[in-house]
Amino acid sequence: MNTKIAGLAAKIADLERELEEELEEELERTRTKFHYSIEKGLAAFSRETRALHDTLRQSVPAFLWQTPVKSLLVAPVIYSLIIPLVLIDLWVRLYQAVCFPVYRIAKVERARYVILDRGRLPYLNWIERINCDYCGYANGLVAYVREVASRTEQYFCPIKHARHLAGAHARYQDFLDFGDAQGYKNELRQLRSDLRGE
């Protein structure tokens, strides 16, 4: 890999670590501000906060009354996506269970990506809870699938594209430069080996 690119990628990784630490500190301040803590992986609100949330929850009839008609009309199309999402979820789980052990690629922990906690918020009515869990599932699933795909790409073809790739996954910066045949021959084994310890 080009040493300047490698240096820039290392700076990005260092900055990401610093920002992750800063983000965690800010999340802790937010937890304090809104009176909840994380217990056994779940958010737990104080009794007083839960009581306040209960008073702020909008009734379902009021919610539906305020919802624009066009939103109600497109809802079946939005929710129809659940079928391909579940099929992708099941297929990627099968793919990972069958293929990753063969190539000794560390498995992606789905629970880190698919988080359904917003549906537990007491200030949401049941429709809002379903909406929140649906979006959490869809976006978490896409992130999970992307991580499975990125590990697959790192194993089979860790080569950057000739043109700039918008929205590249986190592993992409460590891939080999387009056209670097010698690097591909020399570094492919190491890039594959890196996938075992994740």
Position 176 in a domain: yes
Element (H, E) at 11: helix 3-33
Element (H, E) at 36: strand 36-39
pLDDT in tens, 42-88: 888 888 888 888 888 889 899 889 999 999 999 999 999 999 999 99
Position 172 in a domain: yes
Amino acid 108: pLDDT? 96
Handedness of CA 188, 191, 195, 196 (dihedral sign): positive
Q: Which two tokens stand for residue 21?
A: 């630490």
Position 53 in a domain: no
Tell if the pTM clears 0.85, that is, is over it.
Answer: no
Answer for the pair 172, 165: CB distance below 8 angstroms, yes or no: yes
Answer for the pair 49, 36: CB distance below 8 angstroms, yes or no: yes
Choice between 14 and 150, residue whose per-residue pLDDT is larger: 150
Position 30 in a domain: no
Q: How far apart are CA 49 and CA 59, in angstroms?
A: 19
Amino acid 82: pLDDT? 97
Amino acid 1: pLDDT? 55
Q: How far apart are CA 49 and CA 51, in angstroms?
A: 5
Position 146 in a domain: yes
Based on C-alpha coordinates, what's the Rg of the chain? 22
Position 32 in a domain: no
Number of domains in the chain: 1
Percent of the chain clearing pLDDT 90 (strictly above): 54
Q: How far apart are CA 132 and CA 121, in angstroms?
A: 10
Position 121 in a domain: yes
pLDDT in tens, 121-151: 999 999 999 999 999 999 999 999 999 999 9
3-state secondary structure of 107: coil
Amino acid 165: pLDDT? 87
Answer for the pair 51, 106: CB distance below 8 angstroms, yes or no: no
Please list the residues that pair with 36 across neighbouring strands: 45
Strongest mean pLDDT among 25-29, 49-53, 179-183: 179-183
The residue segments making up the domain with residue 177 are 59-194
Position 25 in a domain: no
